[in-house]
Amino acid sequence: MPIVPIDQIQIGLNRRPVKGEKVKELKESIKTNGLLNPITVDQKYNLIAGLHRLTACKLLGLEAVECNVVNYQDSDQARLAEIDENLIRNELEPLQRSELWLERDQILDRMGLRAKVGDNQHTLKGGEMISPPPKRTVEFAKEVGYSERTFQHGKQIAKGIHPEVKRIIKGTAIADSPTALLKIARAGSKERTLAETAQRALELAQAQGDIKEAERQAQLIIEFKNKQKELQTLAHKSALAQREAKLALKKNQHQLEPPSEQSAIATVKVGEEWILGRHLVYCGDTSTQKFRNLLPSDAALAIATLSSNWEHNYLIDEARVVAVLRSEGNIYEFYKCSQMPFQYELVLGNLYVGIFSHQSISKPQTPINIEGVEGIVNYLINLYTNQNNFVIAPFMGHGEILVACERMGRICFIGDNHPELVSRGILRWQKWTGKQAQKLGK
């Protein structure tokens, strides 16, 4: 096999990023045993297969490597060989694998080699026998261990997710979850279908010379695609929030056990303010102006529990989103009578959560499987806030919101008019962080 200078090997822009651990392993292997599996390039030295091996050779300071030079008629054949190499040899995330399956089908179709059900395996192309006979991608998938159902879901993922949402997903935990990816693809399926219908109508209008109708359809395409992107971005964030909520609940359950009465802080009194790291805790009536004066002006989220003497409609002016938790009962009556602008309702475990906001907020379309108050609190914070955002909580509960904000890097403004609940919340935070709370004015 020919020896090719490394600096002459061209790497395409569509290559997957290398995995550092794999390169490290190959580097040690090549250093000890040499390059056992040559790198594959075409006649112009475009890399077909072996990016990890090539990277390892570069790190070893090699100037040239043994290459298997193949002759391809065009770039489609070269790319097809590269895809097959990746699908066979590499461990891929479901999103990457799905995209390669779809691209493989598109290349075969473009080359006139995409075999269909019922085709003779020696189908003629341009009067010549195809050799080797083409294989459908589903057959190829089966050969490397994937079922037809997995393949069909993969195609749905690759075709159904908006390109910009794919870029958001890549590198996150969701990229490795076929179930979550399928839910995201389905979240914007209606809008994607409408965009495709508008695209056909646009092409027809252009063919007929109807400029006004073509412009209308072009605008509809933009609107439908933007809505698809919005819904799928929300579905991705919801999937991440569910994952984080479950991990947090599993990891931190022992820290969230209520402390004993004997260990509670006995010195907390009504009217006091406490600083817990970056958080502020108030002991007193959180419906009063005194608590409101402590709040930031740009909170991302307020989480409250519906009570019989609800006097917290002011939250809608303090936070972009207000989430009100309530068990099954007169929840709908509250939504109807509340002065806060109602957006939608979520059912999380056995709790109903009303979402209120002055802004229009899209509702997650994917099923939400969360259990327990701790899991619900973690989900809401993950879904509606980002790092360093402010979160308001006018009820202490068992300190779930305070601890969740600490763990996720949010800043909590929390209060309660029951000193014993405030004491327990402070103690829980101290137990979690190993730090000491400070009373203001002390």
Q: What percent helix, strand, coil does the chain show, rounded to 5? A: 50, 15, 35
Question: What integer pLDDT is reported at residue 251 of this predicted model?
Answer: 65
Q: Measured between alpha carbons, how far is 159 from 164 in angstroms, rounded to an integer?
A: 13
On the 0-12 / 13-18 / 19+ scale of CB atoms within 10 A, 169 is buried
Contact at 8 Å (CB) between 358 and 352? no
What CA dihedral angle connects 86, 91, 96 and 100, to 10 degrees?
30
Taking the alpha carbons at both ends of the chain, their separation in whole angstroms is 80
355: helix, strand or coil: strand
Question: What integer pLDDT is reported at residue 246 of this predicted model?
Answer: 80
Question: What integer pLDDT is reported at residue 390 of this predicted model?
Answer: 97
Q: What is the pTM of this model?
A: 0.65
299: helix, strand or coil: strand
Q: Which long-range contacts does 61-64 make (Cβ < 8 Å, 24+ apart)?
A: 62/6, 63/5, 63/6, 63/7, 64/3, 64/4, 64/5, 64/6
On the 0-12 / 13-18 / 19+ scale of CB atoms within 10 A, 129 is exposed
DSSP annotation string for 68-88 = EEE--SSHHHHHHHHHHHHHH
Question: What integer pLDDT is reported at residue 2 of this predicted model?
Answer: 84
Distance (Å) of CA 373 to CA 327, 397, 421: 11, 10, 16
Contact at 8 Å (CB) between 59 and 7? no
pLDDT per residue as tens, the chain (442 positions):
788 899 888 887 656 667 788 888 889 889 888 888 888 888 888 887 788 889 999 999 999 988 888 776 667 777 787 788 778 766 778 888 888 888 888 888 777 666 555 555 444 444 444 445 456 777 777 776 788 888 889 889 999 999 999 999 988 888 888 999 999 999 989 999 999 999 999 999 999 999 999 999 999 999 999 999 999 999 998 888 888 888 777 766 554 444 444 444 558 899 999 999 999 999 999 999 999 999 998 999 999 988 777 889 999 999 999 999 987 655 667 777 778 899 988 888 778 899 999 999 888 887 788 878 888 999 999 999 999 999 999 999 999 999 999 989 999 999 999 999 999 999 999 988 999 999 987 5
CATH number belonging to the domain at 267-439, selected among 3.40.50.300, 2.60.40.3500, 3.90.180.10, 3.40.50.150: 3.40.50.150
Q: Measured between alpha carbons, how far is 104 from 278 in angstroms, rounded to an integer?
A: 52
Distance (Å) of CA 179 to CA 95, 157, 291, 366: 11, 10, 44, 11
Question: What integer pLDDT is reported at residue 74 of this predicted model?
Answer: 67
Count of residues for the chain? 442
CATH number belonging to the domain at 1-90, selected among 3.40.630.10, 3.20.80.10, 3.90.1530.10, 3.40.50.2300: 3.90.1530.10
Contact at 8 Å (CB) between 248 and 385? no
Q: Measured between alpha carbons, how far is 206 from 200 in angstroms, rounded to an integer?
A: 10
Residue ranges per structural domain of the chain: 1-90, 267-439
Q: Is 409 left (phi over 0), alpha (psi -120 to 50) or beta?
A: left
Question: What integer pLDDT is reported at residue 332 of this predicted model?
Answer: 66
On the 0-12 / 13-18 / 19+ scale of CB atoms within 10 A, 37 is middle
